[in-house]
């Protein structure tokens, strides 16, 4: 028997090892070299001027580097200390602050919002009464995708109180807790909850309770808090007509607790380690309990899983927790989120079972770049089959762009070329009011109509006749990429009853929620 075993054992071992991807035994240097190569390719393919990446594993930072420049055609290099807007990756931080308050018994996840903010009101009295802290963070309100974002984007002069007051006028598009629809405004309400419970502004609380104990000394809750003499700040870029344009600069300040944090990969590595250690800092200080870590990583609102995701990613569940997306990926659990602002996108991902975390910060709004890179990092550190992710996402981008171009051409061909407006142009020039946004002005001068959103300086443009009583507003700032149809509905007497709006392109960011507006003449 012993002799027989000695002869067959090598064959058994060979058979077993043939099922193991040899890349899982690759050295950290080899993995990181492949990641750096992918970063270089992604910057070239997607026109990204600068990227910063950090990877942590087993309580250590194993990759931490900047690539490219902070501004196109300028010489200052991106470093691990370069500040970027992390946008919606702020949401997990806001959820963590609430988890701390739960640990301290200052509220519970089931606390009703009206018990802390009595004036909180949605369209449905039932939903208003039952809405809890969990609901604020789970994107299950029944409101539509990005509903009300025009109150905060592009930069407005509206306050948090105006936002809370406007919620009751936003239309419910699904029943409460039945569907996922990404919602920034509820996270702004979450920031107000933190303020009312602690007696301090959200930006002061996040600094004292997260950034300071983590040693995130170069992370800021608001762009306006970045020292004016600090120059290592990435500029945002939008590719338009094959050229890069520098845009914006305030990293979504009005998004506050939903998306206003500016950080760098050095500091974000500490945030990753805190999450992977379920609330403990490197010095063993407990910022939140293991119980609350589980609560934040527990599925709350389900999302659909496509057949393609199951086939290619081995995904069987997809959900949103509290500030995090959750799904399985090739047999492990992923905890992740992305962030996007005009000209800047980012990605944070955790693989708790492998004690692995990553952050990618970029200064161009190409989702294809960060998606390719985060997949490449997972491939290298999880030992997954080799795939050219940069080429994969670049091909997807080209196909999507071609499809959208074709759709817009078909739409142009369907226009009634000889139609004219029902009214003289000057009759469309009025001040219109939307219940949740406020005033929107249309003026007439030199035989042209101009539109100006009353609270949003950047939303100004010319109305160009499309067909019948529909115009297209072409914004002066072309980098917004958010031209919109403006359709005027007439009364039986031939006067303007109300107007509606809708983005022309499917590529327009969902935060331009023109479709939620109903413009009534003042």
Q: What DSSP line would sit under 388-429, residue for residue? A: -HHHHHHHHHHHHHHHHHHHHHHHHHTS-TT---SS-HHHH-
**Terminal Cα-to-Cα distance of the chain (whole angstroms):** 95
User: Whole-angstrom Cα distance, residue 211 to residue 221?
Assistant: 9
Could you tell me the two tokens for 146? Answer: 């990005």
Residue range 120-175, pLDDT digits in tens: 999 999 999 999 999 999 999 999 999 999 999 999 999 999 999 999 999 999 99
User: How sure is the predictor about 27, in pLDDT bands with cuts at 50, 70 and 90?
Assistant: low
**Pick from 89, 87, 138, 91: which is nearest to 110 by CA?**
138
* Model confidence at 502: pLDDT above 90: yes
User: How sure is the predictor about 26, in pLDDT bands with cuts at 50, 70 and 90?
Assistant: low
Domains in the chain and their CATH numbers? Answer: 26-141+176-384 (3.40.710.10), 425-521 (2.40.128.600)
Residue range 228-262, pLDDT digits in tens: 999 999 999 999 988 999 998 787 888 999 999 99
* Model confidence at 413: pLDDT above 90: no
* Model confidence at 107: pLDDT above 80: yes
For a pLDDT cut of 90, what percent of the chain falls above it? Answer: 89
Q: What is the mean pLDDT of residues 34-53?
A: 97
Residue 239 CB neighbours (<10 A): 18
User: How sure is the predictor about 222, in pLDDT bands with cuts at 50, 70 and 90?
Assistant: very high
Residue range 313-355, pLDDT digits in tens: 999 999 999 999 999 999 999 999 999 999 999 999 999 999 9
Could you tell me the two tokens for 489? Answer: 């509905």
**Pick from 211, 187, 222, 230: which is nearest to 271 by CA?**
211
Q: What DSSP line would sit under 121-170, residue for residue? A: --SSHHHHHH-BHHHHHHT-SSBPTTTTGGGTSS--S--HHHHHHHGGGS
List phi, psi (to 5°) of 31.
Answer: -60, -45
User: How sure is the predictor about 28, in pLDDT bands with cuts at 50, 70 and 90?
Assistant: low
416, HSE (Cβ side, Cα atoms, 13 Å): 9
Is the bond into 350 cis (omega within 30 degrees of 0)? no
Could you tell me the two tokens for 249? Answer: 């600069």
């Amino acid at each position: 028997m012993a002799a027989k075993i000695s002869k067959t054992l090598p064959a058994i071992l060979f058979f077993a090892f043939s099922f193991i991807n040899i890349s899982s035994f690759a050295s950290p240097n080899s993995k990181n070299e492949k990641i750096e190569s992918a970063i270089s390719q992604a910057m070239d393919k997607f026109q990204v001027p600068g990227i910063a990446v950090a990877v942590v594993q087993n309580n250590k930072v194993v990759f931490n580097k900047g690539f490219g420049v902070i501004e196109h055609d300028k010489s200052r290099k991106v470093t691990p200390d370069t500040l970027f807007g992390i946008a919606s990756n702020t949401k997990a931080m806001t959820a963590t602050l609430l988890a701390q308050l739960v640990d301290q018994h200052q509220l519970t996840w089931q606390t009703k919002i009206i018990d802390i903010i009595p004036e909180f009101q949605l369209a449905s009295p039932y939903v208003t009464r039952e809405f809890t802290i969990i609901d604020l963070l789970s994107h299950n309100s029944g409101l539509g995708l990005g509903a009300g974002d025009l109150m905060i984007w592009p930069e407005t002069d509206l306050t948090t109180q105006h936002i809370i007051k406007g919620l009751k006028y936003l239309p419910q598009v699904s029943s409460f807790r039945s569907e996922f629809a990404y919602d920034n405004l509820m996270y702004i309400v979450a920031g107000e909850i933190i303020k009312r419970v602690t007696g301090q502004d959200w930006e002061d609380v996040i600094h004292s309770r997260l950034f300071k104990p983590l040693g995130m000394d170069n992370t800021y809750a608001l762009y306006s808090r970045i020292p004016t003499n600090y120059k290592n700040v990435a500029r945002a870029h939008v590719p338009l007509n094959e050229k890069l344009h520098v845009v914006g600069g305030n990293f979504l300040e009005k998004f506050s607790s939903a998306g206003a944090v500016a950080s760098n990969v050095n500091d974000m590595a500490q945030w990753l380690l805190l999450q992977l250690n379920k609330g403990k800092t490197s010095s063993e200080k407990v910022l939140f309990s293991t119980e609350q870590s589980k609560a934040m990583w527990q599925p709350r609102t389900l999302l659909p899983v496509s057949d393609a995701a199951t086939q290619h990613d081995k995904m069987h569940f997809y959900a949103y927790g509290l500030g995090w997306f959750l799904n399985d990926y090739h047999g492990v659990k992923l905890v992740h989120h992305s962030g996007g602002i005009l000209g800047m996108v980012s990605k944070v991902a955790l693989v708790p079972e492998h004690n692995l975390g990553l952050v990618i910060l970029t200064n161009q709004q190409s989702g294809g770049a960060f998606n390719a890179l985060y997949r490449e990092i997972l491939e290298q550190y999880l030992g997954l089959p080799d795939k050219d992710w940069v080429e994969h996402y670049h091909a997807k981008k080209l196909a999507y762009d071609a499809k959208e171009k074709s759709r817009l051409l078909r739409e142009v061909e369907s226009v009634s070329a000889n139609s004219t407006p029902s009214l003289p142009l000057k009759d469309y020039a009025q001040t219109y009011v939307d219940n949740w946004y406020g005033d929107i002005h249309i003026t007439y001068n030199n035989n042209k109509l101009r539109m100006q959103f009353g609270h949003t300086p950047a939303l100004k443009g010319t109305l160009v006749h499309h067909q019948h009583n529909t115009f297209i507003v072409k914004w002066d700032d072309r980098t917004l990429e958010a031209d919109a149809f403006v359709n005027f509905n007439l009364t039986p007497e031939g006067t303007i009853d109300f107007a509606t709006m809708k983005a022309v392109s499917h590529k327009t960011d969902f935060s331009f929620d023109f479709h939620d507006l109903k413009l009534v003449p003042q």
